[in-house]
Structure 1
Amino acid sequence: MRTTLFLLHAISCCWLVSATLSKTDAKKSHKAEAETSPAELSVLERGLVVSDPHWKDIVKEEKRHCAHIKRTFQGQVLGYVTPWNSHGYDIAKMFGPKLSSVSPVWLQLRRRGPETFDVTGLHDHDPGWVKAVRKSNKKIRMVPRLLFDGWSYQDYVSVLGSEDEIEELGSELVDVAKVIRCCCSALNPIRQCCFSNDSVALQTEGFDGFTLELWSQLGVRGSQGMFGREEFEQLAPVVDGFSLMTYDYSSGARPGPSSPLPWVRDCVLQLAPNTQWRQKILLGLNLYGLDFAGQGTEPILGGRYIELLREHRPKHLWDEYAGEHYFSYKRYWFNDT
C-alpha cells in the first residue's frame, strides 16, 4: 500500500456579464473595496498586533496597508527583490520611502580563468523599474545582489591571495556599474553606451554598488560557520553593512520556529558583542512562513497562507519563547493500492 500526498487545486473561471447591482450586491462591493483599500490607521492602531489573532481578521485585512506612516526607524533598511516573488517589484515602488537601499536579485559573478571575470544577469536589469523606485525615494540606493556563482574553494584562495586578481575583479565590477549608469540610446539595437557627464542621467538608471553574496557557499567551520567576529571586525570599516540572515533556525524536517528571538539576539551578539560596528548589521526579516509536511520543509508565501486560513479556519497559537505564531492543519491523503 502506498500513501500519496493529495493536493487540491482550485480552478477559477471568469465570466463577462452585464447586470444591475442590487442593494445587497452594492454593499458587498463596497465592503470588498474597503477591505483592499489603503487604511487610515496603522495595524497597531487597528488592534491587529496581538498574541491571539483571529483568522477572519487576517483574511479581511491582509491586502490593506497604511500609506500615511512615515519611516521612523533610524537605521539602514535594505529590501531584497527576488525572482520567486515578482510582487516585490511593486512593493519596492510602493514602499520606497521606507527603504534606504534595494537589492534586486539579478547578477552572477563567474571566474573564467586567471584574472578573468564575467558578470551575467544584466539582461534582467529594468531601467524603467529603477527609475520608478527612485521617483518614490530620491535618496534610495540601488545595490543589486551579486552572487559568486560556481566558485570553487580554490577560486577563492587564488583570487583573495593575489593583488592582481583582486584588482582585476574590482575593475570588472566598477566597469559594470559604469556601463549601467551611462547614457544609453534605446533606438540603438546594440545599446551602445556613451559615457556622459549628465548627472541626471547617471542617477536615473544606475547602480550605487553591489550586495555581495559569497560566504554562504563556503560551507561551515565548526558550529560557527565561515564568518565570525574576527571577519566581521576586519570588514566593518570598509563596507556599508552586513546582511545577517536569521530565519533558518528550523530549516530541517522537524517543525519549529523560524527565528526565535533569543537566538536572533545571540547571532547579533556573537558578531558584535561591542557596539562599535553593530549599527552595520542589517538584521534579516523573512516575509514568509514555513510549512512542515511530507518529506521536508516548504516556504509558504502570503497567498497560500491566506488560502489555508480560509479553508481550515485554524486557531493561531502563540510561542512566548520564540515570539512567533503557529497553527496545525490536516492535509488531504488517499490510499493508492
Structure 2
Amino acid sequence: MKYYLLLYIGLYFLYQTESTIGPGDRKFSSRTSENIVHSSSSSDHSKSSVRSSTIPKESFPPSEIHVLQRNLLQENINPKIILENYQSYCYTCVNTRQFTYPTLIFITPWNNHGYDLVKIFTQKFDYISPVWFSIKRIDIEKYSIEGIHDIDIKWIETLKEKYPDIRIVPRVIFEEWSVDNIHVLFQSEDEKQQLSLTLKNFLIEYNHLFDGYVLELFAQFSSSSKADLHHIIIDIAERIHEIDNNTTKKKEVILTVPPLEEYFDNYDFQTLSEHLDGFIVMTYDFPNKEIGPVSPLEWIKEIMNRFLTSEVRSSIKIFLSLNFYGYRYDRIIPTPPKDQRQYHIRSILGQDYIEFLKQYYTTSVIIFDNRAHEHITLVYDYSMNDHHEQETSKPIIIIFYPSLISIYDRLQLATKLHVGAAIWDGGQGLDYFFDLF
C-alpha cells in the first residue's frame, strides 16, 4: 500500500518565540500561507524510505574526496546517506575555498563544537565572530561590556597563527536595556559619546585579539528615533575607525540588520553604508508563525535584491545569512480543536538531528521542497489500522533542517548576487557542510 505524503502548511499557527539572532527568531509578523510542493524526484517516498533496518553505527571518517565529487548533493536522500557521511568532510580540502566571496561565521559558547570546526576550516573564512559580548548602561555616562570571561585567548591565537589574514570580529549585542536607559541614551549627546568611547577603548585594550565588531542593535532599538539610532551607529563606527594599530588593516564595524522594511529600509542602508564596513542581512530565518521552511530561497533572493538596488561604494561588504539550525514540529496529542495550534515547535541543531535520524531510522522520510529549496523530514503514525487514515493523516513530526543541497543553492545565489555569506552558527551544523565554503 502506498502512503501519500500530505503536508499542510498554513493551518497550524504557532506562538512567537522571542530571541535575538539565531534559532527561534520566528518573532515577526505572520505571512500568507504557502503549500509545500514536492519535487518529482522526492515525491515517491517509497524509494527514498527503502533502506536496511541496520542503523549505521557511525559516520565515515574524513575523506580525501570532496562532497561534490562523492555525489552527495542530491534532492533524493534518506537517513542512511546522512548518517554515513555527516562527519566525512574532505580533509585535503580544508584550506581550499569553493565560495570566493567574503565569508563570516558566528561561534557561540553554547554550541562549542564550532570552536573546533573553525580551527580545522579557518582558511575558508574571512571573519570569525565569537558571540561573547553585550553592552549595558550601568550609571550616568557609564557603560560596561559584559562577557569578558568568555574570551578564549589561546583559541584566537591559534586561528591567527594558522591564517594571519583572519579577522576576529566579536558580536556585541544591545539587549535587556530598560526604557529609561534607552531614553537617556537617545536624548543625551554625552551619553552617546561615552557609549562609543567604551567600545573604542575596549578594542584598544584587546587590540592584539580583535579586528572590530559585529553590532546587533537595530531590532532592539526599533521603536526609537531612526535619526538618533543612525547617530549612535555612526558615532561608534567613527570612533572605531580612529584606532591606529600601525597596520594597513583598520578595525571594522559590521551591522546585523533585520530582513523586514519596518525595521531596516533602503534609507537606513544608504545612510549607514557611508560609515560602516559591512551589513549582515538576517536572511537565515523566515519571519513566520506557521509550519514551513526555515528560510525559503526565493524569499532570500527578494530580500537581498532590495538592498542590491541601492548605490553603495564597492568596498562595502554585504552578507547573505545561512542557518545551520532547523525547526522541529511535534504534533500535539490529543489533537486540539482546528482553530488552535496543532504542533509544538522547537529549534533543532545538527547533533539533535543526527540522534533523531537514529531514533526514527526506519520510519522517517525525507523529501525535497523545490520551492523553498529545503529538505523536510517527516514521521507518520503508521500504527493506525485504517489505511485511509494513514494516507490522509498529518505527520506526527515535521523537521526542516539544512542539507548539503540547500546550503549549496544559497551559496550559488550569493555568488550570482556577488555578496558574501554569514553562518549562524558554526557549532549547529554538520561537519561535511564546510566542504561547500
Query: What TM bracket, shorter-length normalisation?
Result: 0.7 to 0.9
Q: Which has the larger radius of gyration?
A: 1
Please tell me whether the aligned partners of residues 218 and 263 of structure 2 are also in contact (alpha carbons under 8 angstroms).
yes
Please tell me whether the aligned partners of residues 250 and 256 of structure 1 are also in contact (alpha carbons under 8 angstroms).
no
**What is the match of residue 220 of structure 2?**
217
- In 2, Cα distance between equivalents of 1:64 and 1:257: 26
**What is the match of residue 197 of structure 1?**
none
Deviations 1:242-274 (A, max 9, x none): 12111322653x310011111111111223323
Give the CA deviation at 1:49: 0.3
Change in 2 beyond 3 A, CA 1:218/1:165: closer
2:292 paired with 1:256: yes
**What is the match of residue 207 of structure 1?**
210
Deviations 1:112-167 (A, max 9, x none): 23321111111111111111111221111111111113224554454355443232
- In 2, Cα distance between equivalents of 1:250 and 1:325: 19
Please tell me whether the aligned partners of residues 94 and 136 of structure 1 are also in contact (alpha carbons under 8 angstroms).
no
Q: What secondary structure is seen at the aligned counterpart in 2 of 1:68?
A: coil
2:356 paired with 1:322: no
**What is the match of residue 92 of structure 2?**
68
Please tell me whether the aligned partners of residues 285 and 323 of structure 2 are also in contact (alpha carbons under 8 angstroms).
no
TM-score, normalised via structure 2 length: 0.58
Task: Show structure 1 runs of 5+ residues with no match.
Answer: 1-30, 182-201, 332-337
Please tell me whether the aligned partners of residues 266 and 310 of structure 2 are also in contact (alpha carbons under 8 angstroms).
no
Please tell me whether the aligned partners of residues 52 and 318 of structure 1 are also in contact (alpha carbons under 8 angstroms).
yes
**What is the match of residue 114 of structure 1?**
140
Amino acid in the other structure paired with 2:200:
V
Deviations 1:266-296 (A, max 9, x none): 1112233236358622111011111012553
**What is the match of residue 287 of structure 1?**
324
2:333 paired with 1:296: no
Give the CA deviation at 1:301: 1.0
2:279 paired with 1:242: yes
Q: Which has the larger displacement, 256-265 or 163-172?
A: 163-172
Please tell me whether the aligned partners of residues 261 and 321 of structure 1 are also in contact (alpha carbons under 8 angstroms).
yes
Change in 2 beyond 3 A, CA 1:75/1:88: same
Change in 2 beyond 3 A, CA 1:68/1:44: same
Question: Alignment identity in percent?
Answer: 33
Q: Which has the larger displacement, 61-70 or 147-156?
A: 147-156
Give the CA deviation at 1:299: 1.1
**What is the match of residue 355 of structure 2?**
307
**What is the match of residue 37 of structure 1?**
61
Change in 2 beyond 3 A, CA 1:174/1:286: same
Please tell me whether the aligned partners of residues 326 and 347 of structure 2 are also in contact (alpha carbons under 8 angstroms).
yes
Question: How many residue pairs end up in the alignment?
Answer: 277
Q: What secondary structure is seen at the aligned counterpart in 2 of 1:315?
A: strand
- In 2, Cα distance between equivalents of 1:96 and 1:156: 38
Q: Which has the larger displacement, 53-62 or 66-75?
A: 66-75
Q: What secondary structure is seen at the aligned counterpart in 1 of 2:379?
A: coil
Q: 1:56 aligns with which of 53, 76, 80?
A: 80
Give the CA deviation at 1:32: 7.5
**What is the match of residue 434 of structure 2?**
none
| Equivalence map 1:124-163=2 (5 Å) | 124-152=150-178, 155-156=181-182, 158-163=184-189
Change in 2 beyond 3 A, CA 1:276/1:74: farther
| Equivalence map 1:23-34=2 (5 Å) | none
Please tell me whether the aligned partners of residues 291 and 299 of structure 1 are also in contact (alpha carbons under 8 angstroms).
yes
The one of the two structures with greater contact order (alpha-carbon pairs below 8 A, sep at least 6) is 2
Q: Give the root-mean-square deviation of aligned CA atoms.
A: 2.6
Please tell me whether the aligned partners of residues 289 and 299 of structure 1 are also in contact (alpha carbons under 8 angstroms).
yes
Q: Which has the larger displacement, 43-52 or 288-297?
A: 288-297
**What is the match of residue 86 of structure 1?**
112
Amino acid in the other structure paired with 1:281:
I
Please tell me whether the aligned partners of residues 229 and 272 of structure 1 are also in contact (alpha carbons under 8 angstroms).
no
Deviations 1:208-253 (A, max 9, x none): 11111111223579x633211111111112212112111322653x
- In 1, Cα distance between equivalents of 2:210 and 2:284: 28
2:265 paired with 1:228: yes
- In 1, Cα distance between equivalents of 2:223 and 2:67: 40
Please tell me whether the aligned partners of residues 317 and 326 of structure 1 are also in contact (alpha carbons under 8 angstroms).
yes
- In 2, Cα distance between equivalents of 1:272 and 1:163: 33
Task: Show structure 2 runs of 5+ residues with no match.
Answer: 1-55, 225-259, 333-342, 382-437
Please tell me whether the aligned partners of residues 79 and 101 of structure 1 are also in contact (alpha carbons under 8 angstroms).
yes
Give the CA deviation at 1:111: 1.0
TM-score, normalised via structure 1 length: 0.75
- In 2, Cα distance between equivalents of 1:244 and 1:271: 9
